[in-house]
Amino acid sequence: MKTAVYNQEGEKVGEALLPKDIFDVKLNSNLVHQVLVAQSANQRQGSAHTKTKGEVRGGGRKPWRQKGTGRARHSSIRSPLWRGGGVVFGPRKDKNWKQKINRKMRRQALLMVLSQKAREGEVFVLDDFKLKEAKTKEMFSIIKTLRLKIGGLAKGTLLISLPRTKEVFRAVRNIAGLGMIETANLSVLNLLSFKNVLLTKESISLLKKVFPKKEETEENAI
């Protein structure tokens, strides 16, 4: 599959060949959904926590005597019926949200998403990407130029395989609709969080190393 190659000014400077084993994989939406749900669940912090009747402070004595007051009987103000009492079936921080997904499934789903984005014209390739200074102002200027010249980049964009130094990360994180990730850390969740994918020629060769052909993988295993 061939795609256009642009420079940082948004001008077309040539074409690049996208490897079939990465950008031409048949889509299995059920597998992609399964991996996406698992990765989303694995990112849950599970920090929401409510106290049960046994954890709420106070209520050591009976609020009033059992009979003779005309009011309903109560044993403790820690009861869930009382304001400030325990919570029934509330979220607990000790719950484990993790879902296991095997490596082959995760890898295949990732290639499927990359392939689908390539088919829909949402993968863009730059000949090179360099920053004179790792500042938000310069990064914003480059992205603004690319969005004006390349129509498809008008929506959210994920930059892949830029040097992830602290300075570059800071330059990217404050720009709305723009994300950055290293090739080795790429996931289905990251890809589906953005409309477009922006690669460099170097990124494509790195993808080949990170996701080698099945034949090469089998040979290494032997």
Q: What is the pLDDT of residue 164?
A: 62
pTM: 0.80
Q: What is the pLDDT of residue 215?
A: 53
Q: What is the pLDDT of residue 165?
A: 67
Rounded to the nearest angstrom, the gap between the alpha carbon of residue 157 and the centroid of all alpha carbons in its chain is 13
CATH of region 2-44+100-221:
3.40.1370.10
Q: What is the pLDDT of residue 221?
A: 44
Q: What is the pLDDT of residue 170?
A: 81
Q: What is the pLDDT of residue 197?
A: 93
Report strand pairing: 2-6 vs 123-126. Answer: parallel
The domain limits of the chain are: 2-44+100-221, 46-96
Other Cβ atoms within 10 Å of 68 Cβ, number: 7
- For residue 109, give the H/E element and its range: helix 103-119
Starting at the edge strand found earlier in the chain, the sheet holding 157-160 runs 12-17, 2-6, 123-126, 196-200, 157-160, 178-181
Q: What is the pLDDT of residue 130?
A: 81
pLDDT per residue, tens digit, the chain (222 aa), is 788 899 888 888 999 889 999 999 999 999 999 999 999 999 988 889 999 999 999 888 899 999 999 999 999 999 999 999 999 999 998 888 899 999 999 999 999 999 999 999 999 999 888 888 888 898 899 888 888 888 777 778 998 866 566 777 888 888 888 888 888 889 999 999 999 999 988 888 888 888 877 655 444 444
